[in-house]
């Protein structure tokens, strides 16, 4: 006999590495979700910047169903049509010549870091192994990627950390310059830090990193797992800056909710990943690739991308209005539909308290660190969902203010 699962089942059966909200959503359409009791929510969390086209978008459902009836998986002993189409499409739309497909952001970054190490090793020799990244950055949860990430709490307590990794302050070019040398293999950076608090890189910083990498024959890696696939209003955030990386990683929005990721690079770099050097059973899975192809083709259109910029402005206006009423934010920032509202010192550490209050009002949001409320809605969220969602957020924030 089966009973309806409950939130208590999480505590009973699942490893306690998450603390999910109390409600369990069971159905979604567009930017709305419904829980087990039929209560409705407007979704500004977007599965952590994943559901780029909302829930159950017909284009993605159609691609998934068509492929589901055709072919799911082959492994890399064979190639498959959706993977080939996806790789070609990404190459045609970006700086890249070659694509490596996998299933998650952490996996794409793991591949990027291994590729950079292998490239330096094979081209310049063993000494060139230093990887520079930035404090507060987030690059995934594999042991290499948490170590490169700039939040030590994620890599502590797991034994010896991989060596050759150096951290500088984000947006501080002088610090990066001091760490750079002939032994620098790669610099890994998010064009806008996501988990670290929605902090865009400055133009000078990314341009400067590009110059430093060229000077020291190091590779520049852009982690666009969160900023990529249309999230910032261009297909990739590097396109706003006009700074071209050697390697770029993409996941989250890329599959619109289906687990898929890609590492993009140039011919020059890709060639060191010779037969057998790296791989993944699921990488380039036919079902995942078919969905990602549909997502990319739908997102990379003027209609969707220009809509992202319009929605950004609309949400910013709403947040500013809320702030005029309640004075809880000290700064509203971000690019496209990855936005952050930094709490004032009076509400230090309180961003997370907004989330359950918003749930009570029928609105889902995120945080990015203790002091930033983060919004990452669907790139095609309807205007009426924005205004209704923001009205609900206003009520949640009013409750926060009353509580003090
Ligand atoms: C989410 C994220 C990752 C990790 O992606 P997973 O799919 O969770 O492995 C890596 N880098 C950035 C910038 C991210 O936002």
219-268 pLDDT tens trace: 999 999 999 999 999 999 999 999 999 999 999 999 999 999 999 999 99
Q: Is the shortest distance between the CB of 150 and ligand 1 below 6 Å?
A: no
The pLDDT of residue 395: 98
Helix axes 58-68, 286-299, angle to 10 degrees: 150
| C-alpha 109 to ligand 1 mean position (Å) | 8
E strand or H helix that includes residue 240: helix 238-241
Label residues 301-337 b or e (16+ Cβ within 10 Å = b).
eeebbebbeebbeebeebbeebbeebebbeebbbbbb
Confirm or deny that 226 is annotated as ligand binding.
Answer: yes
The rounded distance, in Å, linking the Cα atoms of 226 and 397 is 26
Q: Is the shortest distance between the CB of 140 and ligand 1 below 6 Å?
A: yes
Q: What is the pTM of this model?
A: 0.98
Of 270, 336, 257, the closest CA to residue 112 belongs to 270
Q: Is the shortest distance between the CB of 226 and ligand 1 below 6 Å?
A: yes
DSSP helix/strand/coil, 141: coil
The pLDDT of residue 290: 98
- Residue with CA at minimum distance from ligand 1 atom 5: 105
| C-alpha 257 to ligand 1 mean position (Å) | 13
The rounded distance, in Å, linking the Cα atoms of 213 and 243 is 12
Note the pLDDT tens digit of each residue in 83-111: 999 999 999 999 999 999 999 999 999 99
Torsional sign, CA 267, 269, 272, 278: negative
Low-confidence ranges of the chain (pLDDT < 70): 1
The rounded distance, in Å, linking the Cα atoms of 261 and 248 is 11
**Which are the catalytic amino acids?**
138, 223, 252
* Residue spans in the chain of domains classed CATH 3.40.640.10: 71-299
**What CATH code would you report for 7-57+302-403?**
3.90.1150.10
The pLDDT of residue 403: 80
The pLDDT of residue 404: 74
- Sequence length of the chain is 404
The rounded distance, in Å, linking the Cα atoms of 213 and 24 is 46
The domain over range 71-299 is classified in CATH as 3.40.640.10: yes
Confirm or deny that 170 is annotated as ligand binding.
Answer: no
* Residue spans in the chain of domains classed CATH 3.90.1150.10: 7-57+302-403
The rounded distance, in Å, linking the Cα atoms of 97 and 91 is 6
| Atom of ligand 1 minimally distant from the CA of 252 | 7
Q: Is the shortest distance between the CB of 109 and ligand 1 below 6 Å?
A: yes
The pLDDT of residue 64: 98
Confirm or deny that 280 is annotated as ligand binding.
Answer: yes
The pLDDT of residue 113: 98
Q: Is the shortest distance between the CB of 196 and ligand 1 below 6 Å?
A: no
| Atom of ligand 1 minimally distant from the CA of 224 | 13
| C-alpha 108 to ligand 1 mean position (Å) | 9
Q: Is the shortest distance between the CB of 225 and ligand 1 below 6 Å?
A: yes
Q: Is the shortest distance between the CB of 259 and ligand 1 below 6 Å?
A: no
Confirm or deny that 223 is annotated as ligand binding.
Answer: yes
Query: Is there a contact between 221 and 186 (Cβ–Cβ < 8 Å)?
Result: yes
The pLDDT of residue 81: 98
| Atom of ligand 1 minimally distant from the CA of 108 | 9
Confirm or deny that 227 is annotated as ligand binding.
Answer: no
The pLDDT of residue 2: 73
Nearest 5°: the CA angle 132, 137, 143 is 75
The pLDDT of residue 1: 53
- Residue with CA at minimum distance from ligand 1 atom 15: 226
């Amino acid at each position: 006999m089966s009973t309806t699962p409950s939130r208590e089942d999480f505590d009973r059966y699942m490893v306690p590495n998450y603390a999910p909200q109390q409600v369990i959503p069971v159905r979604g359409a567009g930017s709305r979700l419904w829980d087990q009791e039929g209560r409705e929510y407007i979704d500004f969390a977007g599965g952590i910047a994943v559901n780029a086209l909302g829930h159950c978008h017909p284009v993605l459902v159609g691609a998934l169903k068509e492929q589901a009836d055709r072919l799911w998986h082959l492994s890399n002993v064979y190639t498959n049509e959706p993977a080939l189409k996806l790789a070609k499409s990404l190459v045609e739309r970006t700086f890249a010549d070659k694509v490596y497909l996998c299933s998650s952001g952490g996996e794409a970054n793991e591949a990027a870091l291994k590729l950079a190490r292998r490239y330096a090793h094979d081209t310049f020799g063993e000494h060139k192994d230093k990887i520079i990244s930035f404090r507060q950055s987030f690059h995934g949860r594999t042991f290499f990627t948490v170590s490169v990430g700039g939040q030590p709490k994620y890599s502590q307590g797991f034994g010896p950390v991989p060596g050759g990794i150096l951290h500088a302050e984000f947006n501080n070019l002088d610090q990066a310059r001091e760490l750079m040398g002939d032994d620098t293999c790669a610099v890994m950076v998010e064009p806008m830090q996501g988990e670290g608090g929605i902090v865009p890189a400055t133009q000078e910083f990314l341009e400067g990193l590009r110059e430093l990498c060229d000077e020291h024959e190091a590779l520049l890696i852009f982690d666009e797992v969160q900023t990529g696939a249309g999230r910032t209003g261009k297909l990739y955030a590097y396109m706003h800056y006009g700074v071209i990386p050697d390697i770029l990683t993409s996941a989250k929005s890329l599959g619109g909710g289906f687990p898929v990721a890609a590492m993009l690079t140039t011919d020059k770099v890709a060639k060191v990943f010779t037969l057998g050097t790296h791989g993944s059973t699921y990488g380039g899975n036919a079902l995942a690739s078919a969905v990602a192809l549909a997502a990319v083709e739908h997102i990379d259109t003027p209609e969707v991308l220009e809509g992202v910029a319009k929605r950004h402005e609309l949400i910013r206006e709403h947040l500013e209005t809320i702030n005029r009423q309640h004075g809880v934010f000290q700064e509203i920032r971000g690019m496209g539909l990855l936005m952050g509202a930094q709490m004032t010192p009076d509400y230090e550490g309180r961003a997370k308290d907004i989330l359950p209050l918003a749930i009570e009002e029928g609105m889902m949001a995120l945080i990015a660190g203790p002091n930033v409320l983060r919004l990452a809605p669907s790139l095609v969220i309807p205007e009426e969902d924005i205004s209704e969602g923001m009205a609900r957020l206003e009520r949640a924030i009013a409750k926060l203010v009353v509580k003090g």
